[in-house]
């Protein structure tokens, strides 16, 4: 049995940012306990498992299920994925689901998109007999400006090449612990 560990305490969100706004967001979604259920990196490329192929297919399907979102760069790593999602500009004041801030995220918000993605992957994985779990939370970053966008794209492209030094790599994670 896996123990649920939170990998991010507090918030890294900007207080001045409305995270319901459209625009580009960089997200990282991890497998519980960072187990390498998506495969292994060999010579800078992921040798993916069937589970990773499910995760990739469901990521590519996101625009079919969430009106107006666009995919940008993404990469699936052995135990997590990184991606850039472009959310459409929306007038949330006219959305009746936003009247109660304590409900689950309204349709089209970053939280609802990630939640539905994780659910779709989990459902298909379970149907195919895979046993895995997502980390309960995810990391996100509102991308502000073209320079930041280009830098994050570069990070995504280089991520498999840098796996040997990645803090998510179980083989070297101890080097990053306090």
pLDDT in tens, 41-71: 999 999 999 999 999 999 999 999 999 999 9
Write down the domain spans for the chain: 23-176
Q: Find out whether 172 and 164 touch, Cβ atoms under 8 Å.
A: yes
Reported confidence tier of residue 18, pLDDT bands at 50, 70, 90: low
Would you say residue 102 has pLDDT above 50? no
In this structure, what token pair is assigned to residue 20?
């319901």
Q: 23-176 has which CATH code? A: 3.30.70.1290
Would you say residue 125 has pLDDT above 50? yes
Q: Find out whether 77 and 28 touch, Cβ atoms under 8 Å.
A: no
Would you say residue 93 has pLDDT above 80? no
Using a pLDDT cut of 70, give the percent of the chain over it: 78
| HSE, side-chain direction, 13 A CA sphere, residue 61 | 12
Task: Looking at 26-79, list the stretches that DSSP marks H as alpha helix, in order from N- to C-terminal side.
Answer: 50-60, 62-65
Mean pLDDT in the chain? 85
pTM exceeds 0.75 for this model: yes
């Amino acid at each position: 049995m896996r123990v649920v560990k939170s990998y991010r305490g507090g918030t890294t969100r900007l207080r001045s940012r409305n995270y319901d706004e459209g625009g580009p967001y960089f997200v990282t979604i991890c497998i519980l306990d960072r187990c390498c259920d998506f495969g292994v990196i060999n010579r800078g490329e992921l040798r993916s498992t069937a589970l990773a192929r499910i995760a990739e297919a469901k990521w590519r399907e996101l625009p079919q299920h969430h009106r107006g979102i666009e995919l940008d760069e993404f990469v699936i790593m052995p135990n997590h994925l990184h991606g850039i999602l472009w959310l459409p500009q929306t007038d949330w004041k006219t959305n009746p689901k936003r009247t109660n801030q304590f409900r689950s995220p309204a349709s089209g918000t970053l939280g609802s998109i990630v939640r539905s993605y994780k659910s779709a992957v989990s459902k298909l994985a379970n149907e195919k007999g895979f046993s895995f779990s997502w980390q309960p939370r995810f990391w996100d970053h509102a991308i502000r400006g073209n320079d930041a966008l280009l830098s994050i794209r570069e990070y995504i492209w280089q991520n498999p090449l840098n796996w040997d030094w990645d803090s998510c790599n179980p083989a070297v994670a101890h080097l990053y612990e306090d």
